[in-house]
Structure 1
Amino acid sequence: MELVANAWDAGASQVIITWPEKDGDKFAVQDNGHGMTENQFMTRFQMLSYDRAKYQGLHAEIPFDNNIEGSRTVFGKNGKGRFSGFAFGKDYFVRTWRDGYENVFRVFLKNGGNLRFKKIGDATPRAGHGTEIYVEHAQQAILSEALVRSEIGMRFLVDPKFEVFLNSVQIDFSDIPKDNVEEILLDVEGVGQVKITIIDVKATDKTTHQHGVAWLVNKRMVGECSWKGTGYEYLLDGRKVAAKRYTFIVEADALANHYAILPDWTAFNPVVPEYKKVLDAVNNTIKGYLIDLTKESREEVFKDIKKQNIQELKLMGLVSRQKWEEFVKDIADSQTM
């Protein structure tokens, strides 16, 4: 998963994964991201606690010929993905190319787990840009191909401009188990039909990256997938379980002919009436969904608090007790979303 996230951070539009089915098979993750020069590789791999934000910023460098509009917020910040290749062998190789040259490095551990690398041969001419991380004779993967397809699909299908292939077959929504995905169709009067696909990864992720609300128009993302600016901040924030578990993909192709999208595709035009109608319908639907999914846990919290304060409640008058219950329910709502 971290190696796919690295490809996202590199501004890739396509990732090709070779997954080992038995011991000795090749493992590889190749992308068409920006790649690295020899000096860039040395800096990013040699530094123990590499600060991505300091040296590269929090948005991906996107190659112009990858045809990705707008910006892309990155996953990685400290270079932990450098250790992912060791899950498939005692060492791995990095082949990376940009600015007309390709370099190959062997990455391995030494002296109690310290990261080391060695350049293989000289730089060779190569056009384009990209990176391949591979193990020629890998250990058999612990995870099945089907599970890997599912896990990647639940986290990286929000942007149609980011295609992932595993053993030559593209990952799509059919790879996500039915229990993890739900669809809602909305008919917006005067505009048309809008589809909301809800992805639930079940287990909570470490961060909210690739979770939130993603808007698509004709299979092209408008802005970024995020909770920010959605209007649900009072229901969710990065510390809450649901914020790291759910993704809502809104397919609003009906807005394509209403001049609702800004020219750079970073956002919608907020004054377009048709967009306002769709936004209201989508907001009401997602808000209701978020409230419903935590209803049971909110009720349990309320019952526990009420039980712990039963003696004090017996001494209260009816009005005071009603005010107490309203206050506690508000607290329970804020703590269980």
Structure 2
Amino acid sequence: MLRSMAERSEFGDFLRSRRARVSPENAGIPRHGRRRVRGLRREELAQLAGISVSYYIRLEQGHDGSASDSVLDALARALRLSPAERSHLYSLTRSRRRTRPTAEPERVRDGIELLVDSLDRLPALVLGRYGDVLVWNRLAHALLAGHLPYEAARGGGGRPNWTRMFFLDPRFRALFLDWEEKARDTVADLRMIAGGHPADQRIAEIVGELSRRSTEFAALWSAHAVWRCVSHDRRLRHPVVGELTLADELMTLPDDDGQRLVIFRAVPRTSSAAALTLLAELSTGDTGRATPHPDALVADDVASRGANGRA
């Protein structure tokens, strides 16, 4: 029963949020008098989609989960959905028609883990179906979360979660010079993931916790923005090597239930590339220790110079 209610709410909320976004003028509907609703009225959207008002109301209230592909196509056109939003609409509908097995604990295939570890000059990691960091190499750890234990990604329930860190970890948040833009990307991507599993308990727990603890997350989540993140340009201010601009690529791994390989890179022969090379050199020591704070690096360097001077 709870699963059914959650699925109905997500589907209806998405339709309402998209309906509110389309103005009558953009839809070619004359505006007469004062309107009390933002965007299209239910009857206006139903007319644009070529369906009855009563049927559309049932859809928006989540009482009819058997909408045909032609109806969904008509709604997508009337609502002017982007390709990602159209895919999300289909996912919300189809997920209500199927029974989902209980998810098995996530693990990274040996070959993928070997690949990540072998990329010692490029930060690389694997995100699980819920955004958990399942494995990272030493450079990715040093770049993103040197304040956390390196082994955290290989643990059980204590694995770092990308979305949680983005909103709840001050040090992780401080890395991103364009945090507001990337926060929108992060929430829109989580929406895309949740669309295929609207009643998944783990996703509900993540969303519930973040909605309680972060007003910024709650506001972004309520906007129902949805798109899939496949690449970014990230502007970072790292506590050890300073500012750098990196591009990342997110590649979905086949046959791995939503896992994604993430690789960061810098433009060759730039200050960002030099900073990344320096960080790689600094992170080749004991992987059980976090990347040292800049003050510690200075102290170590002073001590080393003093020892060499006395020799």
**TM-score between the two structures when normalised by the length of structure 1:** 0.22
Structure ranking higher in strand proportion:
1
Structure ranking higher in helix proportion:
2
